[in-house]
């Protein structure tokens, strides 16, 4: 577990890279029960004016918070987590390759200490999240209890 007294505002926690392909989205749809066709059917996604199939918002949030829970060493220490979805995470078609082998879209995450509360012994972690170079989440923050 991280010692609260060793933290400083602005301190970088680290980075995390997530690769997501369409097979991942189909598996997530099965696990979550969210079978909205924008997450697996390119024709439908384009008909509703999306650029292509997009990742589930909760899939993206779950992938992103892994940086914080791994850093703190205890997923239960995350007491608050929120974000604003600003751009969809577009997951392109693998174009004839085996979908499971296709690396797909890359989500990059960086975490920094945004604020410390000595009385409550909490740290707010500010996360910068981009997919293929485009910011996809804004005001992405987690609070951890230390």
* pLDDT of the residue at 55: 97
Q: How many CA atoms lie within 13 A of 26 on its CB side?
A: 8
Homologous superfamily of 4-145? Hotdog Thioesterase (3.10.129.10)
Domain boundaries along the sequence of the chain: 4-145
Model pLDDT for residues 8-46, shown as the tens digit of each residue: 999 999 999 999 999 999 999 999 999 999 999 999 999
Model pLDDT for residues 53-101, shown as the tens digit of each residue: 999 999 999 999 999 999 999 999 999 999 999 999 999 877 665 655 5
* pLDDT of the residue at 101: 59
Predicted structure pTM score? 0.90
* pLDDT of the residue at 97: 58
- Residue 1: pLDDT band (50, 70, 90) is confident
């Amino acid at each position: 577990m991280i010692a609260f007294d060793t933290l400083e505002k602005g301190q970088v926690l680290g980075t995390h890279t997530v690769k997501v392909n369409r097979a991942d989205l189909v598996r997530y749809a099965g696990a979550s029960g969210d079978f909205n066709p924008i997450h697996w059917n390119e024709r439908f996604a384009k008909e509703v004016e999306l650029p292509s199939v997009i990742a589930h918002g909760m899939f993206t949030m779950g992938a992103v918070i892994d940086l914080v829970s791994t850093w703190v060493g205890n997923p239960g220490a995350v007491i608050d987590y929120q974000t604003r979805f600003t751009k969809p995470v577009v997951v392109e078609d693998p174009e004839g390759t085996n979908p499971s082998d296709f690396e797909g879209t890359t989500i990059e995450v960086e975490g920094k200490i945004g604020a410390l509360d000595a009385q409550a012994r909490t740290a707010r972690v500010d996360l910068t999240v981009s997919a293929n170079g485009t910011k996809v989440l804004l005001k992405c923050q987690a609070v951890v209890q230390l």
